[in-house]
A and B are shown apart, each in its own frame.
Chain A
Amino acid sequence: MNTRFNEIRDFLNQIVLGKEKQIELCLCCILAKGHLLIEDLPGMGKTLLAHALAKVLGLEFSRIQFTSDMLPADITGVSVFEASNNSFHFHKGPIFSSVVLADEINRASPKAQSALLEAMEERQVSVDGKTYPLPFPFFVIATQNPLEQTGTFPLPESQLDRFFMRISIGYPDREAERKLLENEERRLVLEKMASIVTEKEIVAWQQEVKRIKTEPALLDYVQDLIQQSRDSGEFGNGISPRAGLDLINAGRAWALLNDRKYVIPEDIQAVLPSAIGHRLTMIQDQDGQVNIGVNPAQRLLEITPV
């Protein structure tokens, strides 16, 4: 199994240079059946990474470019009147595919955003009173620009909570940058490559993740983390039960990726910043100022003994 994972890793590392950790987290997200949010500045390779992921998984892939004038129907599809048989016919939107790349999700209006996020949560789409199930497996890989950028509609916390993980890519290091500059366009490399994973394999792995053991000692640690986030008084909102469950699942997937049959605290620590980071905020102090220098997830890990 490990060799298969290595193949995938190699594949992705060829496309996105010097981002092993982020790639690992993406895989973790897929194994745990979670939706992924990639957040970074334009031009950092968000779309490329998402594209590569879709490609490697060999799944049906569609891409939605979000814009501010987008309507929900642009995502879910629309019923069209067909004169020939005198009835409405539902034309499926781009969301009806196994991997959906929702590019620049925070550029769209909240209405359009919520259409996508509802589909993510329920794994089905309701149009004109009829319910259409989405394919299985179903991933959404969304990218977004940092909130400070102009012309964005920030995702509200409730929507953010639906994403299993949020990762940011960051600048490549010097070595990777050099490689990037030297070689040909990555996108072209991607075009040339063939997918290496089958749908069946993914489903099998997802089953495997569920069988990863979590011992009481580990659950204690996770509970301590949750408790700490709620009681320490340093964080705005504590970790929600859903987030806690996601954290455990992410830890399981991480353990599987490391070829282990059980979860250890390091697995949790590795995935926590991505799995919890977007749901945790530091508390505001007396003058309403957030202590910007502190990463809440990192802080939570530091104050919780193993």
Chain B
Amino acid sequence: MQEQCLSRDNLYMLPTRHGFIFSLVLLAMLLVAVNYSNSLAYMMTFTLFSTVLVSMLYTHRNLHGLCLTYGESKPVFAGELLSYSLVLKNGTQRDRFDIGIDIKGDKSRRCDFSAHETLKIECTTRVQHRGWHTLPAVQVNTRFPIGLLFSWSKPAQLEKKSLVYPKPSSWQDFPVRYSENSMTQIQSRRNNDDFSGLRQYRKGDSPQRIDWKTYARGKGLHSKEFTGGEMPLMVFRWNDTAGEKEQRISLLTRWVIEAAAQGIRFGMELPGKKVLPSNNEKQASKCLTLLALM
């Protein structure tokens, strides 16, 4: 289910505690009316009862037609906070009041909707495992209008999954690198033709490239960046790594991240799958997706 639109099929209703108390009061009223054979007392009791009956329709209408869906979420790495958004859309001309939204494992919220309003709730959750992360079930409820009835939706497992990339391992040097055409091995050193700027030091940067002057001024570690020259090409292979499956995946993830950050053309070879080298922006996500779903 991509989107859950609330309707008769997935809404339930029961009296609240106040509702039960009120029904006792009604019963007492009926007894008085019967005992005194008092027409207006009868009428009053019946009117209160039927008003609560009608309020059922109001309660139902307050949720009916509200549509829930998860918005797009950006992939994150395992162990990080996944932020996602729940989108609630009031597709009708009517205002909705006092709507409670319970996202499993998150605090509950109450809010109102004006006509045709779309509400986006931003949530975060910590994800631990790579692969598809199923977003939590959502339940919507209301006590509108008079608090005697409680209506809630069937907790919906909205089939929105968010991709979690594997957790990158600690830095290990790139495997041997190939030049673009000849596939001959070239030195595993960064090209350094033109100085183009400084950037925050990243793990794995060669100490030769650290700008010690900046460090000496107490501004933290920075690496010098160089551009130009022949763009290097790399292919990360499953066989270049060793150890357990998860460790290998982690390492490959690290390499892909670094390569993408440095704008290196790279490809990947996994058992049974191969990604051709490229340096366009989609390349990293393509590789990471493959790794996440391995």
Contacts and interface: CB of A to CB of B under 8 A. Distances in A.
Interface of A: 227, 231, 233, 283, 287-288
B75 to A, nearest CB: 10
Interface string B57-92: 000000000000100100000000000000001000
Contact of A288 (B69, B89, B116, B282): B282
Contacts of A287: 286, 289
Report the interface size class on chain B: under 10
Given A227-B116, A233-B69, A283-B72, 7 more contacts: A231-B89, A231-B118, A287-B286, A287-B289, A288-B282, A288-B285, A288-B286
Interface string B23-58: 000000000000000000000000000000000000
Interface in B136-165: none
A233 B71 CA distance: 9
B163 to A, nearest CB: 8
Contacts of B289: 287
Nearest to A289: B282
Contacts of A227: 116
Contacts, number: 10
Leading 3 A-B pairs by shortest Cβ distance: A288-B282, A231-B118, A288-B285
A231 B116 CA distance: 11
Interface string B106-121: 0000000000101000
Nearest to B72: A283
Contacts of A233: 69
A283 B71 CA distance: 12
Interface in B238-294: 282, 285-286, 289
A302 B289 CA distance: 33
A231 B71 CA distance: 11
B64 to A, nearest CB: 19
B32 to A, nearest CB: 53
A247 B116 CA distance: 22
A105 to B, nearest CB: 23
**Which of A227, A283, A288: most chain B Cβ within 10 A?**
A288
A228 B286 CA distance: 30
B259 to A, nearest CB: 18
Contacts of B69: 233
A104 B118 CA distance: 42
Nearest to A288: B282
A231 B88 CA distance: 11
10 contacts: A227-B116, A231-B89, A231-B118, A233-B69, A283-B72, A287-B286, A287-B289, A288-B282, A288-B285, A288-B286
B55 to A, nearest CB: 31
Nearest to B89: A231
Nearest to B118: A231
A233 B286 CA distance: 23
Nearest to B116: A227
A283 B69 CA distance: 16
Nearest to B91: A231
A14 B89 CA distance: 52
Contacts of A288: 282, 285-286
A125 to B, nearest CB: 31
A227 B282 CA distance: 30
Contacts of B282: 288
A227 B89 CA distance: 12
A91 to B, nearest CB: 34
B209 to A, nearest CB: 28
Contacts of B116: 227
A287 B288 CA distance: 11
Nearest to B289: A287
